């Protein structure tokens, strides 16, 4: 008997990726459901970033496919219009102001009244006052990450991808980001979080996928979430050499 797939879920079937003969991902099958945070964990080189690159349509899988509703994710820009991405690098132009950065991307996404939308997002991430007209390169790491999140949420994406978003953030910034992740989960989006921070993953994730050497070493959903201790034990067991 197969488990029914929630509408809007992202279904990966035997996804593989090979770079110049090196297999970065091998037969990865899992489902990322809407309304929950899925944490993708694993040691360096496990294939986490490759997986995010495939989910974001930046690179196509070598084998298998990623289905999202009726769509097979590939390089189609239609799907990209429904995806938001926050990485450890902000993905912004340092010489443009916060407002200009958001307006630029709002225009590229085809958002109605891009300047007004930029204002709304600046207010949401707490950059509307003093920082809106400052060049992004003058921002602290925490402010840049707020602006990066505003850019990723401009078009209200149904799928949100986070790649080590709290790397180099101070504790207050990390707490803020964690609250935002929870808010996006509650808004019914598919949220995929790639991180090395097991405490951060345990705080928000109900679904955990552990990758090891490009393969799924563990895939489990716990509706009540994973405790930090349990997740550490699980991670240690599944990634042991």
Integer Cα distance of 147 and 234 in angstroms:
34
The answer to whether residue 158 forms part of the interface with other proteins (CB under 8 A) is yes
Whole-number minimum distance, CB 130 to other proteins, in Å? 19
Integer Cα distance of 167 and 204 in angstroms:
16
The answer to whether residue 157 forms part of the interface with other proteins (CB under 8 A) is yes
Helix pair angle (141-153, 114-124), 10° resolution: 130
Which one of 156, 170, 199, 229 is in contact with other proteins (CB under 8 A)?
A: 156
C-alpha closest to that of 120 among 130, 132, 108: 132
Integer Cα distance of 165 and 196 in angstroms:
10
Give every CB contact of residue 232 below 8 A, 6+ residues apart in sequence: 198, 202
The site map against other proteins for 43-62 (x = CB under 8 A) is -------------xxxxx--
- Which of 82/218 has CB closer to other proteins? 82
Which one of 48, 146, 151, 207 is in contact with other proteins (CB under 8 A)?
A: 151
Which one of 95, 199, 220, 229 is in contact with other proteins (CB under 8 A)?
A: 95
The answer to whether residue 109 forms part of the interface with other proteins (CB under 8 A) is yes
Q: Which two tokens stand for residue 177?
A: 């980001």
- Which of 141/196 has CB closer to other proteins? 141
The answer to whether residue 94 forms part of the interface with other proteins (CB under 8 A) is yes
- Which of 85/235 has CB closer to other proteins? 85
- Which of 138/220 has CB closer to other proteins? 138
- Which of 123/230 has CB closer to other proteins? 123
Whole-number minimum distance, CB 34 to other proteins, in Å? 14
The string of DSSP codes covering 64-105 is EEEEETTEEPSS-HHHHTTEEEE-SS--S-TTSBHHHHHHHH
- Interface stretch with other proteins, choices 83-91, 125-133, 203-211, 216-224 (CB under 8 A): 83-91
Distances (CA, A) of 106 to 18, 55, 77, 81: 34, 21, 15, 11
Q: Which two tokens stand for residue 30?
A: 């899992």
Q: What is the total residue count of the chain?
A: 241
The answer to whether residue 237 forms part of the interface with other proteins (CB under 8 A) is no
Q: Residue for token digits 């340092």?
A: 94
The answer to whether residue 132 forms part of the interface with other proteins (CB under 8 A) is no
- The residues of the shown chain that bind other proteins, judged by CB under 8 A, are 56-60, 75, 77-78, 80-83, 85, 87, 89-96, 100, 104-105, 107-112, 117, 136, 144, 151, 154-158
């Amino acid at each position: 008997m197969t488990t029914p797939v929630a509408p809007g879920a992202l279904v990966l079937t035997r996804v593989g990726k090979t770079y110049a003969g090196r297999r970065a991902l091998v037969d990865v099958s899992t489902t990322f459901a809407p309304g929950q945070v899925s944490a993708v964990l694993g040691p360096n080189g496990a294939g986490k970033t490759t997986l995010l690159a495939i989910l974001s349509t930046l690179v196509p899988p070598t084998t298998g496919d990623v289905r999202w509703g009726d769509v097979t994710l590939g390089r189609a820009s239609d799907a990209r219009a429904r995806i938001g991405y926050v990485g450890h690098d902000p993905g912004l132009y340092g010489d443009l102001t916060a407002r200009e950065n958001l307006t630029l991307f709002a225009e590229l996404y085809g958002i109605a009244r891009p300047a007004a939308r930029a204002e709304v997002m600046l207010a949401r991430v707490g950059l509307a006052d003093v920082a809106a007209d400052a060049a992004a390169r003058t921002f602290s790491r925490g402010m840049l990450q707020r602006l990066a999140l505003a850019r990723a949420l401009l078009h209200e994406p149904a799928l949100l991808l986070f790649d080590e978003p709290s790397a180099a953030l101070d504790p207050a910034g990390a707490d803020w980001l964690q609250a935002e992740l929870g808010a996006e989960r509650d808004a019914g989006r598919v949220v995929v979080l790639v991180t090395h921070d097991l405490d951060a993953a345990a705080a928000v994730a109900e679904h955990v996928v552990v990758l090891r050497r490009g393969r799924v070493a563990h895939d489990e959903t716990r509706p009540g979430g994973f405790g930090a201790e349990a997740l550490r034990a699980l991670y240690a067991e599944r990634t042991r050499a």
